[in-house]
């Protein structure tokens, strides 16, 4: 000790990035960082990049009122003593949450998902729900997660943290394709992997905007039963229908408890509270035959990630649920109308700038999602970070390269547009800028 002949060890110790966990040098992470960096360098640009919700009618004082609504509920409806109420806010709490009953009631009202409150795990945003679920289900190196591709980076990122093998399954024209999923399962198995679960966003997916038909949902559940696959269903955008009516979630159709339903309040309430949940009503059988819920197993993992979800945040979301009588879909009527107008405006403006003949001439097209925040534009040039920088600098408009959402290459000539955080006026202005950018690039590409 105190070896003064080794002055090299006395300097501040720098760490070598390549000696840190491999997830830190994942290209997807680099891509997201670059995107954030471009967004921050061009703060004046109109941005179709972020998928964040509109702040709508939210007021700074709302969280304090929701807190009061929740504690009043405990005191006056449930008859709790003042001491018990203050301990509920102040102390460590139940690992799986304190508003699980309100969430179960809301799921029954809004989604016809009928589950016991004990099968609901309240999490620090939906991201923690993904982490807990993946950690519990994936035990061995061969356990493989199938993901509908292009795919939300939150799930692939969580899988990377846990060194979980991934198998991307290409989406069809109307989103996740049951036949392609079946092929992915068999291909995984042929390569020595064990297909353990599939991650899918059935409604208005991020990034593609695509949705599964009801028939495709039924077919996917059949495949899951036949191939012994669990389904991780993520449904943050289901309320936000533009055209047609809401379709049943996979969980509402699930009669064999094959679906773990991941939930978020980030789009339907507020992202800042970081409250999400997972419905895990599967039975788990122990070595001595003892039966628990998968939710109870997730609880053990949650005690090692965040102990419990913030009681303050849960109380805020709890108060909001109580104020809306556990009917969040009805409470979102204005938001649903806002996003519908935005997506219609985006589609109309694209049509106005690129009518059919012009589209064919330029080699430009886009999909027309039935709802949600996103759509995908296909262009006749590389929609990469260089193009994005050009778009930001010279046209004042930002978007997301679709290639960021592919694990296996793909999307190189596609861009994702999000319209959730803009006004209709900004969308009109933004599409006009985007049209100038796309037309210029297409011309340079010789179209």
Please, which of residues 287-326 interact with a copy of itself by CB under 8 A? 287, 291-292, 294, 297, 300-301, 303-313, 316
**Distance in Å, CB of 129 to a copy of itself, minimum:** 10
Closer residue to a copy of itself (CB): 19 or 408: 19
Report yes or no: 187 and 167 within 8 Å, Cβ to Cβ.
Answer: yes
**Distance in Å, CB of 315 to a copy of itself, minimum:** 8
Spatial neighbors of 289 by CB under 8 A, at least 6 apart, are none
Tell whether residue 162 is a contact of a copy of itself (CB under 8 A): yes
- Report H helices in 258-332: 294-302, 311-323, 328-331
Closer residue to a copy of itself (CB): 71 or 342: 71
Query: How far apart are the C-alpha atoms of 324 and 316, rounded to whole Å?
Result: 13
Query: How far apart are the C-alpha atoms of 84 and 87, rounded to whole Å?
Result: 5
Closer residue to a copy of itself (CB): 257 or 359: 257
**Distance in Å, CB of 286 to a copy of itself, minimum:** 4
**Distance in Å, CB of 435 to a copy of itself, minimum:** 29
Any idea what DSSP says for residue 426? H
Tell whether residue 17 is a contact of a copy of itself (CB under 8 A): yes
Instruction: Choose the binding region for a copy of itself from 126-134, 320-328, 373-381, 396-404 (rule: CB under 8 A).
Output: 126-134
Tokens of 429: 């202005």
Spatial neighbors of 24 by CB under 8 A, at least 6 apart, are 17
Closer residue to a copy of itself (CB): 69 or 344: 69
**Distance in Å, CB of 149 to a copy of itself, minimum:** 18
Closer residue to a copy of itself (CB): 21 or 360: 21
Q: Give which of 92, 117, 71 is closest to 277, Cα–Cα.
A: 117
Query: How far apart are the C-alpha atoms of 413 and 149, rounded to whole Å?
Result: 16
Reduced to 3 states, what is the DSSP secondary structure of residue 285? strand
Number of residues that bind a copy of itself (CB under 8 A): 103
Tell whether residue 33 is a contact of a copy of itself (CB under 8 A): yes
**Distance in Å, CB of 412 to a copy of itself, minimum:** 24
Site residues (CB under 8 A) for a copy of itself, limited to 203-262: 219, 222-223, 225-226, 228, 230, 255-258
Query: How far apart are the C-alpha atoms of 205 and 174, rounded to whole Å?
Result: 10
Report yes or no: 295 and 261 within 8 Å, Cβ to Cβ.
Answer: no
From the number of C-beta atoms within 10 Å of its C-beta (0-12, 13-18, 19+), residue 60 rates as: exposed
**Distance in Å, CB of 343 to a copy of itself, minimum:** 20
Query: How far apart are the C-alpha atoms of 95 and 299, rounded to whole Å?
Result: 6
Closer residue to a copy of itself (CB): 311 or 434: 311
Tell whether residue 11 is a contact of a copy of itself (CB under 8 A): yes
Closer residue to a copy of itself (CB): 155 or 379: 155
Give the β-pairing of 400-401 and 414-418. Answer: antiparallel
**Distance in Å, CB of 359 to a copy of itself, minimum:** 34
Q: Give the CB-side neighbour count of residue 75, counting CA atoms within 13 A.
A: 13
Tell whether residue 442 is a contact of a copy of itself (CB under 8 A): no
Closer residue to a copy of itself (CB): 140 or 357: 140
Q: Give which of 199, 206, 124 is closest to 159, Cα–Cα.
A: 199
Tell whether residue 59 is a contact of a copy of itself (CB under 8 A): yes
Tell whether residue 86 is a contact of a copy of itself (CB under 8 A): yes
Closer residue to a copy of itself (CB): 315 or 379: 315
């Amino acid at each position: 000790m105190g070896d003064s002949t080794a002055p090299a060890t006395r300097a501040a110790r720098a760490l070598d990035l390549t000696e840190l966990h491999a997830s830190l040098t994942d290209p997807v992470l680099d891509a997201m960082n670059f995107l954030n960096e471009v967004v921050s360098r061009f703060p004046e640009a109109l941005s179709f990049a972020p998928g964040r919700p509109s702040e709508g009618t939210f007021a700074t004082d709302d969280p304090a009122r929701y807190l009061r609504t929740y504690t009043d509920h405990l005191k006056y409806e449930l008859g709790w003593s003042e001491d018990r109420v203050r301990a509920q806010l102040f102390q460590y709490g139940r690992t799986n949450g304190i508003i699980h009953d309100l969430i179960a009631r809301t799921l029954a009202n809004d989604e016809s998902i009928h589950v016991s409150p004990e099968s609901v795990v309240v999490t620090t945003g939906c991201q923690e729900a993904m982490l807990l679920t993946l950690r519990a289900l994936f035990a061995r190196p061969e356990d493989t997660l199938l993901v509908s591709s292009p795919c939300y980076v939150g799930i692939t990122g969580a899988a990377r943290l846990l060194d979980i093998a991934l198998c991307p399954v290409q989406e069809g024209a109307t989103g996740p394709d049951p036949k392609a999923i079946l092929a992915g399962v068999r291909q995984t198995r042929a390569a020595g992997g064990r297909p353990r679960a599939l991650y899918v966003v059935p409604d208005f997916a991020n990034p593609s905007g695509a949705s599964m038909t009801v028939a495709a949902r039924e077919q996917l559940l059949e495949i899951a039963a036949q191939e012994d696959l669990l389904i991780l269903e993520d449904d943050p955008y289901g309320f936000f229908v533009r055209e047609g009516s809401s379709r049943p979630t996979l969980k509402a159709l699930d009669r064999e408890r094959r679906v773990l339903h991941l939930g978020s309040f980030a789009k339907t309430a507020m992202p800042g509270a970081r409250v999400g949940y997972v419905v895990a009503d599967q039975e788990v059988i122990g070595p001595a035959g003892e039966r628990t819920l998968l939710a109870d197993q997730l609880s053990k993992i949650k005690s090692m990630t965040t102990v419990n979800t913030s009681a303050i945040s849960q109380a805020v979301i709890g108060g909001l649920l109580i104020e809306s009588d556990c009917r969040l879909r009805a409470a979102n009527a204005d938001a649903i109308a806002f996003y519908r107008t935005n997506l219609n405006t985006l589609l109309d403006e694209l049509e106005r700038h690129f009518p059919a003949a012009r589209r064919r001439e330029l080699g430009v097209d886009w999909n027309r999602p039935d709802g949600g925040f996103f759509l995908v534009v296909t262009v006749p040039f590389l929609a990469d970070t260089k193009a994005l920088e050009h778009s930001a600098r010279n046209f004042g408009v930002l978007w997301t390269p679709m290639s960021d959402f592919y694990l296996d290459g793909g999307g190189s000539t596609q861009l994702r547009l999000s319209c959730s955080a803009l006004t209709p006026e900004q969308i009109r202005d933004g599409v006009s800028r985007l049209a100038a950018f796309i037309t210029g690039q297409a011309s340079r590409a010789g179209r």
